[in-house]
Amino acid sequence: MAENKPDIKRELLNKDAPIGVFDSGVGGLTVVREIMRQIPNERIIYFGDTARVPYGSKSRETVTRFSGQIVRFLNTFQVKTIVVACNTASAYALDVLEKESDIPMIGVVKPGARVAAEVTKNGRIGLIATEATVGSRIYPKYIQELKKNVTIYQKACPLFVPLVEEGLLEDPVTDEIARRYLTELIDIDIDTLILGCTHYPLIRSTLRKIMGEGVTLVNPAYETARELKELLAGYDLLCEEPPALGGNRYQFYVSDKAEKFVSFANSIIKYGILSAKSIHIDAY
Amino acid sequence: MAENKPDIKRELLNKDAPIGVFDSGVGGLTVVREIMRQIPNERIIYFGDTARVPYGSKSRETVTRFSGQIVRFLNTFQVKTIVVACNTASAYALDVLEKESDIPMIGVVKPGARVAAEVTKNGRIGLIATEATVGSRIYPKYIQELKKNVTIYQKACPLFVPLVEEGLLEDPVTDEIARRYLTELIDIDIDTLILGCTHYPLIRSTLRKIMGEGVTLVNPAYETARELKELLAGYDLLCEEPPALGGNRYQFYVSDKAEKFVSFANSIIKYGILSAKSIHIDAY
């Protein structure tokens, strides 16, 4: 975070370098979309771990090990910062990764927690996320550091990711599963719901329908991009001008199924992604 | 297969050695259950790739690479044979693995194809499986080698694995998803349905209810265990007596979340599995 600048090696940082972004798969593209909107002059290297997706049902040790390999891969591009665009990896691995990193890093959990703490009026906040993120209890920890007298009600929603991956974004089955997951949160009268997994903004309309208009839905992607901009500005690393033509402005890497990724990515980002490259991430 | 004995190095094989079995996760335990029933004197080393599960949505190259690492791991136990207890790995990787192997191997696809070819009367066979297994077209290939004038109707069912993993074995949502997947198979009047993924026998009652009594459900696990017994007998490798007391008769290894695995395993196998060991499979 910009307010606690880590002990980074400034001489390694270069304003023209790209930003590294990673996720377990395609969900992190909802964060990339926001970064492209808010700081459009930046170059981005994205990595999606499609060979080992999902992360949300896996252990801290495994998610941390996988994330470490990805950070090593992104560092081969001399990125100026890394965005952990996955709630599970932010929850389990960011602390460890930051300690080992020479460059500033940012996850999606702190920004999401910050917005939720700001917007709640009745102090009752819901969090929907993967089993891993819920189990880590990191959202309650951060929110309660920011604001007293707040209660966080957590609910793991393990079927949302496969339903989104299957494209059932507006479907009676997704409605039914969402109703089961969310009923207890409605019953306890939350006024704020954090979408604590980067896939969930893609079923926002279903969640909105079930939660009703009275509940604020918090998508950490928007706030993450805003804090990223602040972070870069704080280190004087924001690009003022678009990169030269002909440079690869946005590059996408995956660990499997590059073509399927490209097709999904183009449904999320309107930029026109032509290709993604497949690499062996476990070699890093 | 016993009928085409590969060029194996007989001096490597030892009757008292364990059988290696692997799957992408827990599904292969439905095959282990059958092996335990049909050849109860054998020792088994099981590996479930819980850090990289699922395989069914991943590419041939990735599934083959992961399977190769697992075979190298199982070979450290000097296993006398390896059972690929995963349809996706059998479909994508078995051919390559067999070519590189000094010991006999068996998958679940050929046994499943054989039973389906035997039991169909009207020559209309349905196959439900992962995207990968369907895309490989390996079931139609094997069945049509065994029997002329047979048509195979394939249907990928990507949500079944997450629904089973969530424990929704008998649930209106699983019913609804199954109805969507199966309707076209009912409409074209199949008389045989292959459960082409090792998770699917766990929702057998739902599948039975939707398909009706007139359709034979083929679970390749039973036939795989039967052919495994034949294969071992053919090489004179069947254990006639139970292993000595105190030996580790059944050993379970996973790449992540050993405790969760043990709890799931105990719901499938009545043997009483006390522990599983977690290892880094990508180091093999």
pLDDT digits (tens, 9 = 90+) for B93-132: 999 999 999 999 999 999 999 999 999 999 999 999 999 9
Q: Tell me, yes or no, if B57 comes closer than 8 A to chain A by beta carbon.
A: yes
Q: Tell me, yes or no, if A159 comes closer than 8 A to chain B by beta carbon.
A: yes
Residue B246's pLDDT is 63
- CA-wise closest residue to B104 among B81, B137, B70, B131: B81
* Sheet containing strand A192-196, strands side by side: A151-156, A124-129, A192-196, A216-218
Residue A2's pLDDT is 42
Residues 198-257 of A with CB under 8 A from B: 255-257
- Told to judge if A197 belongs to the known catalytic residues of this protein, a careful annotator would answer yes
Q: What is the pLDDT of residues B16-62, one digit of tens each?
A: 999 999 999 999 999 999 999 999 999 999 999 999 999 999 999 99
Residue A11's pLDDT is 67
Residue B2's pLDDT is 43
Q: Tell me, yes or no, if A57 comes closer than 8 A to chain B by beta carbon.
A: yes
A81-107 average pLDDT score: 97
Q: Lowest-pLDDT range, A36-40, A128-132, B37-41, B162-166?
A: B162-166
B28 contacts B225 by C-beta, under 8 angstroms: no
Answer yes or no: do B58 and A165 touch at CB < 8 A: no
- Closest CB to A58: pick one of B51, B59, B162: B51
Residue B274's pLDDT is 84
B143 contacts B116 by C-beta, under 8 angstroms: yes
Residue B3's pLDDT is 46
For tokens 């390896």, what's the residue? B82
Q: Which amino acid is at B124?
A: R
Catalytically annotated residues of B: 86, 197
Q: What is the pLDDT of residues A218-270, one digit of tens each?
A: 999 999 999 999 999 999 999 988 887 766 799 999 999 999 999 989 988 98
Residue A250's pLDDT is 94
Q: Quick one: what percent of chain A has pLDDT higher than 90?
A: 87
φ, ψ (nearest 5 deg) of residue A113: -65, -40
Answer yes or no: do B57 and A165 touch at CB < 8 A: yes
List of residues 6+ apart from A67 with CB closer than 8 A:
A22, A84, A89, A92, A93, A97
Q: Global pTM?
A: 0.92
Residue A270's pLDDT is 83
d(CA B233, CA B225): 12
The pLDDT-based confidence of A54 (bands split at 50, 70, 90) is very high
Q: Is the pLDDT of residue B273 over 90?
A: no
A261 contacts A276 by C-beta, under 8 angstroms: yes
Q: Which chain B residues are within 8 Å of A61, Cβ to Cβ? A: 256
Distances (CA, A) of B71 to A47, A64, B64, B249, B262: 28, 25, 10, 20, 22
Q: Tell me, yes or no, if A282 comes closer than 8 A to chain B by beta carbon.
A: yes
B165-182 average pLDDT score: 94
Joined together, the tokens standing for residue B174 give 């699983």
- CA-wise closest residue to B143 among B244, B220, B74, B57: B220
Interface test with B, best of A26, A50, A57 (most B CBs within 10 A): A57
Residue A247's pLDDT is 66
Q: Tell me, yes or no, if A276 comes closer than 8 A to chain B by beta carbon.
A: no
Answer yes or no: do A159 and B158 touch at CB < 8 A: no
Reduced to 3 states, what is the DSSP secondary structure of residue A190?
A: coil
B264-268 average pLDDT score: 90
Q: What is the ipTM of this complex?
A: 0.89
Q: Tell me, yes or no, if B158 comes closer than 8 A to chain A by beta carbon.
A: yes
Alpha carbon B186 to its chain centroid, in Å, reads 25
Residues 165-194 of B with CB under 8 A from A: 165-166, 172-173, 176-177
Q: Is the pLDDT of residue B1 over 60?
A: no
- Told to judge if A157 belongs to the known catalytic residues of this protein, a careful annotator would answer no
Residue B7's pLDDT is 61
Our separate counts of H helices and E strands in chain A read: 11, 10
Tally of residues, chain A? 284
The pLDDT-based confidence of A211 (bands split at 50, 70, 90) is very high
Chain B CA closest to residue A56? B51
Mean model confidence pLDDT for chain A: 93
B19 contacts B81 by C-beta, under 8 angstroms: yes
- Closest CB to A176: pick one of B57, B173, B257: B173
B227-239 average pLDDT score: 96
Q: Tell me, yes or no, if A50 comes closer than 8 A to chain B by beta carbon.
A: yes
Alpha carbon B75 to its chain centroid, in Å, reads 19
Residue B112's pLDDT is 97
Q: Is the pLDDT of residue A71 over 60?
A: yes
A153-160 average pLDDT score: 97
Q: What is the pLDDT of residues B121-153, one digit of tens each?
A: 999 999 999 999 999 999 999 999 999 999 999
Chain A CA closest to residue B258? A59
Q: What is the pLDDT of residues A2-21, one digit of tens each?
A: 444 556 666 668 899 999 99
d(CA B108, CA B225): 9
Residue A74's pLDDT is 98
